[in-house]
Amino acid sequence: MPSVGWRSPRVGVDPRPSWSEVLTPACVPGDVTEIDPGDLLPNERVQQAVLAGDVTQLTRGASNRYADEGDTFEIDGATFAVTSVEHRTLGDFTDADARREGSESVAAYKRRMERAHPGDFEWDDGDEVLTYRFERRD
């Protein structure tokens, strides 16, 4: 009796998806979801900074995924699209990243995170995060 089940056409290759495929699913062209800006952007101040163009990226802990590349959101009638979602560590964070998030440097960004999360935030270069970049589309 023949076996029933899926077999990999890639002989000698593990057919299971890699961790990066599980954590960062590919965006199917045309498969765009409109998300609530509050799901990605933690508060009104950040939303207004995005609207003003002062924030074009947001980094959040990797334990939750808030958006996928291609997703859109609206703030006060302006449409924004998520242009990339990158899995990385806090140690990968640069001054350019800090500026995209509204801070002048990594040191200033760290201080802001400590103020925003008093008592429960400690910068660890090895902590895994997801960086979301977005741009205005209208």
| CATH of residue 54 | 3.10.400.10
Q: Measuring CA to CA, how many Å separate 89 from each of 32, 33, 53, 54, 93? A: 27, 26, 25, 23, 7
Number of domains the chain contains: 1
87 within domain boundaries: yes
Q: How many CB atoms lie within 10 A of CB 82?
A: 23
Q: What percent of the chain has pLDDT over 70?
A: 78
Q: What percent of the chain has pLDDT over 90?
A: 69
pLDDT of residue 130: 97
129 within domain boundaries: yes
21 within domain boundaries: no
Strand locations in 29-127, DSSP E? 57-61, 72-75, 78-89
pLDDT in tens, 87-105: 999 999 999 999 999 999 9
76 within domain boundaries: yes
20 within domain boundaries: no
End-to-end Cα separation, the chain, in angstroms: 60
Residue 31's pLDDT band (cuts 50, 70, 90): low
pLDDT of residue 86: 97
Q: How many CB atoms lie within 10 A of CB 50?
A: 23
15 within domain boundaries: no
When pLDDT is averaged across residues 79-89 and rounded to a whole number, the result is: 97
Close Cβ partners of 129 (under 8 Å, ≥ 6 residues apart) = 59, 60, 61, 62, 87, 88, 89, 90
Give the structural domain span for 82. Answer: 30-136
Q: Tell me if residue 107 falls in helix, strand or coil.
A: helix
Helix (H) or strand (E) run with residue 106 in it:
helix 106-116
25 within domain boundaries: no
pLDDT of residue 25: 45
Distance between CA 98 and CA 107 in Å, rounded? 9
* Burial class of residue 53 in the structure, from the number of CB atoms within 10 Å of its CB (0-12 exposed, 13-18 middle, 19+ buried): exposed
18 within domain boundaries: no
